[in-house]
Amino acid sequence: MNGESVDTPRKLYQRIAAELAAAIDKGVFASGSRMPAERDLAEKYKVSRPTIREAMIALEIRGWVEARQGSGLYVTNRDHGSSKEEALELDVGPFDVTEARVLFEGEAAALAAHAITDEQIAELEEAVRILADPFVSRPEKVKADRHFHVTVAAATGNAAIRSVIEFLWTMRDNSPLCVEIFERAEKRGIDPLAEEHRAIANALKARDATAARAAMQRHLGGVVRDLLEFTESQVMARAQSEIEAHRIKLKKRLSI
């Protein structure tokens, strides 16, 4: 059975981060040493690679490990013992938040198709315009993205649904782990896609519940895929840099 199917009340990435921190405390991973490969850690702890990525980023944010260009992640040379619990205080990760959004916002879009007003349609179209404008700043696009999704939630006419979706966005905006990963992704050019939002708005304008649900789920599923590809690219970049460093080292040794 996959280890992620029996999670404790502590979030899974937090549990893994705590176990890695404990291993560092015990000297399993000594200060200054390079951390094992993501695949090896995923196999050891019986979790997915995205969970390992979240745990490692949590440790990196808290200063337990550091990324070295062209080499990988290394245990920092600091006293870790006094702050082990810090690894557990970064709240929910982006994969969990976005997965929940796929579930809730897809159904919210379908419900909204039956109740959305022309004024709310106009708000969605204005948000799409902002997202499509290449001269608009990234913070403004992030703001427009949130407004778009909260407007869809409000269009359901159900205060509880709106509250749940607003809460998911608040988690996304306030969780240090979410903020860190989304900011890293944005710096690499991963932005809210205007055409995906336009498809949702068009389905809602047509009052087509099935199309609205599908468009919303397709959009948020794409967010998950983008995050996976981004975090994977970071891992691959480290691996490729490490291979290149070994190649140069070997070349020098052979030339002696």
- Taking only the tens place, the pLDDT of each residue in 124-137 is 999 999 999 999 98
Nearest CA to 149 out of 186, 185, 201, 97 is that of 201
Residues of the chain with CATH 1.10.10.10: 7-90
Nearest CA to 204 out of 97, 84, 131, 123 is that of 123
Residue 216 is predicted with a pLDDT of 96
Instruction: Decide if 130 contacts 140 (C-beta within 8 A).
Output: yes
Bridge partners, residue 68, by sequence: 72
Instruction: Decide if 185 contacts 226 (C-beta within 8 A).
Output: yes
Nearest CA to 219 out of 239, 237, 198, 234 is that of 198
H/E stretch holding 216 reads: helix 209-254
pLDDT in tens, 191-219: 668 999 999 999 999 999 999 999 999 99
pTM, rounded to two decimals: 0.62
Instruction: Decide if 16 contacts 24 (C-beta within 8 A).
Output: no
- As a whole number of angstroms, the distance between CA 113 and CA 169 comes to 21
pLDDT (average), residues 116-120: 97
Does residue 19 carry a pLDDT above 60?
Answer: yes
Per-residue tokens: 150: 């909260």
71 φ, ψ to 5°?
-135, -45
pLDDT in tens, 150-183: 999 999 999 999 999 999 998 888 777 787 777 7
Instruction: Decide if 129 contacts 219 (C-beta within 8 A).
Output: no
Q: Which CATH superfamily is domain 94-232 in?
A: GntR ligand-binding domain-like (1.20.120.530)
Does residue 139 carry a pLDDT above 80?
Answer: yes
How far is CA 48 from each of CA 68, 177, 178, 230, rounded to the nearest angstrom? Answer: 24, 17, 18, 16
Record: fold of 7-90 = Arc Repressor Mutant, subunit A (1.10.10)
pLDDT in tens, 34-91: 999 888 999 999 998 888 888 888 888 778 888 876 677 889 876 655 444 554 455 6
10 φ, ψ to 5°?
-70, 140
Which are the contacts of 134, defined by CB distance < 8 A and separation ≥ 6?
none
- Distinct helix (H) and strand (E) counts, the chain: 10, 2
